[in-house]
Structure 1
């Protein structure tokens, strides 16, 4: 059975590829979980439309992120944390804490958009 992958699937292929799979795997697993479409002309058109929508959304999100990064570039934040003996910090400053500090300055950002190497 030929299918069009909607998402990257481990050991099978990347999104947009047309791959051959066993009929049961395609009908019972990939298609119901929206990992793939049957490879027909109609679904090729649907996939192309989805791809264009996704690219447009990604471009808008990137533009918004770049604008926000420009505004936040010179922003300074201070976090108050509890410390114990020998100035050891209890806990950590997390993405949620940083999002709260940024929100207090008047900018809206989701904690999932803040990437930290270490909390």
Structure 2
């Protein structure tokens, strides 16, 4: 089945490409999602008329992703986790936890866009990639810390503030 792509589809092609796909993939995913249209002479002509609008929309999405990537670049995200003996985590740091941490800082990122090579199961610093668009990827540093240490720091910080105010 030949399809004209109406958007960039990962591992398949870019906007305007004519690709051959299995009939089920075309019928059940590409066509209903509006990601493609059947490749016929009439559709090719119609697509050429519509191409500028689609390209403008794709450029707008790419620019929005680049803006978010600029905010994310160089960001260090501290994730407090419960720790057992030998500094081993209870559970692991998942994309959902990282997404919640980013949301707490005012940056909304879909958890499916966060790329973890493997589950994070120990304390430390880990580089994590965030694919915001097919062409835009940002890297953040996730620092996994113990909840106990975060609580100790939080308790000591307010104690210092009244002393500074008294002076």
Fold in common (TM above 0.5): yes
> Which is strand-richer, 1 or 2?
2
Once structures 1 and 2 are overlaid, which stretch shifts more, 49-58 or 99-108?
49-58
SS at match of 2:96: helix
Query: 1:51: how far off?
Result: 4.8
The C-alpha deviation readout for 1:82-108, integer Å capped at 9, x for no partner, is: 222221112221111111111111222
Give yes or no for the alignment of 1:57 onto 2:57: yes
CA distance in 1, matches of 2:73, 2:50: 34
Give yes or no for the alignment of 1:39 onto 2:40: yes
Residue ranges of structure 1 left out of the alignment (5+ in a row) = 20-24
Which residue of 2, 5, 15 maps to 2:3?
5
With structure 2 as the length reference, what TM-score do the two structures score?
Answer: 0.48
Residue ranges of structure 2 left out of the alignment (5+ in a row) = 120-167
> Which of 1 and 2 has higher RCO (CA within 8 Å, sep 6+)?
2
Count of residue correspondences:
104
With structure 1 as the length reference, what TM-score do the two structures score?
Answer: 0.63
Counterpart of 1:116 in structure 2 is 116
Report the RMSD for the aligned CA atoms in angstroms. 3.2
